């Protein structure tokens, strides 16, 4: 599955959050695994492919925005996810 599909595709993490008010742990694990896998390459080249960068921006933006319909459990999980993704991306600066 392409990274953008994991994030915003029909069965992506953000669709599950928006439409079902649920956090899909499997898709989230796929997303973080993808980021960790590609991080060394991105650090070495100094480049993130545009499609991946746009998906990362959308992911962080949408997760940070919250949703009044999420349960407290989903809201807390999303907050943790945002921090984890930001930590992964911040490793580019190291």
Band the pLDDT of 38: cuts 50, 70, 90.
very high
Report d(CA 23, CA 40) in Å as an integer. Answer: 27
The answer, yes or no, to whether residue 66 has pLDDT greater than 80, is no
9 DSSP 8-state letter: S
Residues in the chain: 94
Give me the half-sphere count of Cα atoms (radius 13 Å) on the Cβ side of residue 30.
15
pTM above 0.95, yes or no: no
- The mean pLDDT of 68-83, rounded to a whole number, is 90
């Amino acid at each position: 599955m392409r990274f953008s599909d994991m994030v915003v595709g029909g069965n992506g993490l953000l669709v599950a959050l928006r439409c079902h008010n649920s956090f899909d742990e499997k898709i989230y694990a796929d997303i973080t695994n993808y980021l960790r896998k590609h991080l060394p390459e991105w650090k070495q080249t100094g480049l993130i492919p545009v499609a991946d960068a746009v998906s990362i921006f959308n992911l962080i933006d949408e997760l940070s925005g919250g949703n009044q319909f999420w349960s407290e459990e989903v809201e807390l999980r999303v907050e943790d996810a945002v921090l984890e993704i930001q930590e992964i991306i911040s490793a580019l600066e190291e």
